[in-house]
Structure 1
């Protein structure tokens, strides 16, 4: 039965004209999602959320994110958390506890944006140590917002001893305007600046596979369909 469903999925992928790519992808994704594929359920939710291949419908998106999260897809859990965090206005009431719960699922799975969001939520709660931990994980992946959060934390000594060298390094890595970088550099001693510049020169972002998939967006959806199709034959 599974092979028949996946074969049908393959037909959907190639049966529509080239100008209907988004609709073709949406229909094929729904077919896969209805078979219980958690990642496909997330992609269907995103397509409803963004109006890709179908009319924008955030109520439908929310339902698909619920299904995806229930089936343990971390990106589905993240988007469900976003809806509870205010993106679902008019669909679901804001609920900070639910937002944190679901975003933590994705953060623990390695998604950089979820880690940054979790850091912000802990920071608002006054839990600076926990915020710093999650900003560091997201910053190590190269997320500019998280790098900026780290810079602010080290500058203010929030959750960590104050360290202007680290603050400057993360500030520069966050790709802020050069004028602001130069202004901050002038506040450091020569040894502090040398230490920071060495860190910047040696630093390399290390995004996880989950982060790369999330940032790939629609391309990741198409890749998932191709992978499902290859398993059908």
Structure 2
């Protein structure tokens, strides 16, 4: 593997970590999960954040290695510390569900990571924050709506549905049933079951 990565590096004049990560991606696509994991791990151990993220995915889903959420969290943390947006999202979710330490500390660290990921355009983080701010212990409806709109405008049908709920119930915005219906229709057209049911009601 390292020889193949070295040849790839020489051909394209790229860093060995990038070459290993590319080999890992191609190996995963070909169904060679163990080889992919090995490539990702070699690149991750060299500090390459994209590979660290990929190792986290492998551990989270048990691809090419045994499933291990703690190790997944470790690698997501490594990649997140290098500002890898999707790793920030995944590590935040890990912190909220499985992370060590006090709930208060994990919560604040996770929200900060989610906001960074959302700011980088990660739709999943925008959607998560939208619901989080609407339904949290101290709801911030306008902030929640802002994130839901970002996710909806990126094509997330579930967030579009939640935007409709906000307009229907006046959460973070003045109540407007016509606007709610518009969002429900868009969400339903994108395949959202809840929006379809809401339109039938």
TM-score interval, smaller chain: 0.7 to 0.9
Structure number with larger C-alpha Rg: 1
Structure 2 residue aligned with 1:116, among 110, 120, 127? 127
CA distance 1:115–1:8, change in 2 (3 Å): closer
Q: Which runs of 5+ in 1 are unaligned?
A: 185-233
Aligned length in residues: 179
Root-mean-square deviation over aligned CA pairs? 2.8
- For residues 138-185 of structure 1, what are the alpha-carbon distances to aligned partners after superposition, in whole Å with 9 as ceiling and x for unaligned? 00011122111101100011111111122112112223448625435x
CA distance 1:106–1:6, change in 2 (3 Å): closer
Q: Distance in 1 between matches of 2:187 and 2:125?
A: 17
The equivalent residue for 2:163 is 150
Counterpart check, 1:183 vs 2:200? yes
**TM-score using structure 1 length:** 0.68
Counterpart check, 1:167 vs 2:180? yes
CA distance 1:54–1:133, change in 2 (3 Å): same
CA distance 1:10–1:156, change in 2 (3 Å): closer
Q: Which has the higher contact order (CA 8 A, sep 6+)?
A: 1
The equivalent residue for 1:38 is 49
Distance apart, 1:130 and its partner CA? 0.5
Q: Distance in 1 between matches of 2:129 and 2:84?
A: 18
CA distance 1:78–1:4, change in 2 (3 Å): closer
The equivalent residue for 2:63 is 52
Distance apart, 1:70 and its partner CA? 0.9
CA distance 1:148–1:28, change in 2 (3 Å): same
Q: Distance in 2 between matches of 1:101 and 1:109?
A: 13
1:33-112 pair list within 5 angstroms? 33-86=44-97, 88=98, 94=103, 95-112=106-123
Is 1:12–1:27's contact at 8 Å kept on the other side of the alignment? no
**TM-score using structure 2 length:** 0.78
Q: Distance in 1 between matches of 2:63 and 2:148?
A: 31
Q: Distance in 2 between matches of 1:39 and 1:60?
A: 16
Q: Distance in 1 between matches of 2:109 and 2:36?
A: 31
